[in-house]
């Protein structure tokens, strides 16, 4: 990977690198990987309000009757052996 970086930003990174006793590549990769994991973690989790959480629980306990589209989809499934 090749990056173009402003001198001011590079100086900041190099100062952090010196404080962490590492090299620039390891520093950037470590922090970029952690940031990527955080982004993925955030995207993989659905956060519901208390109201929405209660609605989901209620629907799980008291599901609505299947509508015509759901019944048609169920009938279209291959028969199980």
- pLDDT grade for 81, boundaries at 50, 70 and 90: confident
User: Whole-prediction pTM value?
Assistant: 0.57
Domain membership flag for residue 68:
yes
When pLDDT is averaged across residues 50-77 and rounded to a whole number, the result is 95
- Return all residues near 61 (Cβ < 8 A) that are at least 6 apart: none
Name the percent of the chain in helix, strand, coil, to the closest 5.
70, 0, 30
1, 8 contact by CB (below 8 A): no
Q: CA neighbours within 13 Å on the CB side: how many for 51? A: 0
72 part of a folded domain: yes
Looking at the 3D structure of the chain, how many domains does it have?
Answer: 1
The residue range of the domain holding 49 is 7-76
> How sure is the predictor about 55, in pLDDT bands with cuts at 50, 70 and 90?
very high
Q: Judge whether 29 lies within some domain.
A: yes
- The pLDDT score that the predictor gives to residue 69 is 96
| Residue 64 falls inside a structural domain | yes
For residue 1, is it within any domain?
A: no
What is residue 79's predicted lDDT score, i.e. its pLDDT? 86
Q: Is residue 81 included in any domain, yes or no?
A: no
């Amino acid at each position: 990977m090749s990056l173009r970086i402003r001198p001011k930003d590079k100086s900041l990174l190099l100062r952090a690198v010196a404080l962490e006793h590492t090299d620039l590549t390891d520093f950037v990769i470590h922090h970029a990987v952690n940031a990527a994991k955080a982004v993925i973690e955030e995207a993989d989790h659905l956060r519901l309000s208390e109201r929405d959480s209660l609605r989901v629980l209620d629907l799980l306990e008291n599901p609505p009757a299947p509508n015509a589209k759901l019944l048609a989809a169920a009938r279209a499934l291959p028969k199980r052996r």
